[in-house]
């Protein structure tokens, strides 16, 4: 007997797999072009890709050009909005902390990823080191972070919060 009930769960999973495979294909293409590490990403809104990319750190000499950042930038440009609150991000590998931050600032609520941070670490990428750094208190991190001149900068932030025409974000 044919199954006639609409199976929403399976549809959603098939759709997720479809877009995630697009991200995985981009990861392979970027690696083959020598653009950067083997990472790919697509941003989807209403069932359509609105931004995509692969890692371009080497090709563009840009340490921030991770696949997720590239795809988010393009999606925001295409949508004319830095907020992508109705989008899902599909990435070939669990995002690093920089990319998680970018996802947060873009207000993307949902991420589907394939390979894990452990897979990335095994391939020589130190996402895992970065996750450990972020878990440490500031004074124990390898990055030196030094405060200075707070009294000269804090008033500018206060001025911002009082601007009548400011766009909150």
Residues 2-41 that bind a second copy (CB under 8 A): 13, 16-17, 20-21, 24, 27-28, 31, 34, 37-38
Residue 48 near a second copy by CB under 8 A: no
The answer to whether residue 97 forms part of the interface with a second copy (CB under 8 A) is yes
- Could you identify the residue written with the tokens 């399976």? 10
Whether the CB-CB separation of 76 and 53 falls below 8 Å is answered with: no
Q: Of 1-9, 44-52, 130-138, which segment contacts a second copy by CB under 8 A?
A: 130-138
What's the distance, Cα to Cα, between the start and end of the chain in Å? Answer: 54
Q: Which of 42, 67, 76, 87: binder of a second copy (CB under 8 A)?
A: 76
Which residues does the annotation mark as catalytic?
68
Beta carbons of 90 and 20 less than 8 angstroms apart: yes
Q: Which of residues 149-168 bind a second copy (CB under 8 A)?
A: 149-150, 152-154, 156-161, 163, 165, 167-168
Distances (CA, A) of 91 to 7, 101, 108, 151: 25, 15, 13, 42
């Amino acid at each position: 007997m044919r199954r006639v009930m609409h199976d929403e769960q399976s549809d959603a999973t098939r759709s997720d797999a479809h877009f995630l495979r697009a991200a995985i294909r981009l990861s392979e293409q970027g690696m083959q072009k020598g653009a950067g590490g083997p990472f790919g990403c697509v941003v989807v809104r209403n069932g359509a890709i609105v931004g995509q990319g692969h890692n371009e750190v080497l090709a563009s000499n840009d340490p921030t050009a991770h696949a997720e950042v590239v795809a988010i930038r393009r999606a925001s440009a295409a949508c004319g909005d830095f907020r992508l609150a109705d989008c899902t991000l599909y990435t070939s590998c669990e995002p690093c902390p920089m990319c998680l931050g970018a996802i947060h600032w873009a207000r993307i609520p949902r991420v589907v990823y394939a390979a894990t941070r452990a897979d990335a670490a095994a391939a020589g990428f130190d996402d895992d080191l970065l996750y450990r750094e972020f878990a440490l208190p500031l004074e124990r991190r390898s990055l030196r972070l030094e405060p200075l001149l707070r009294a000269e900068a804090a008033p500018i932030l206060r001025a911002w919060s009082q601007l009548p025409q400011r766009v909150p974000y």
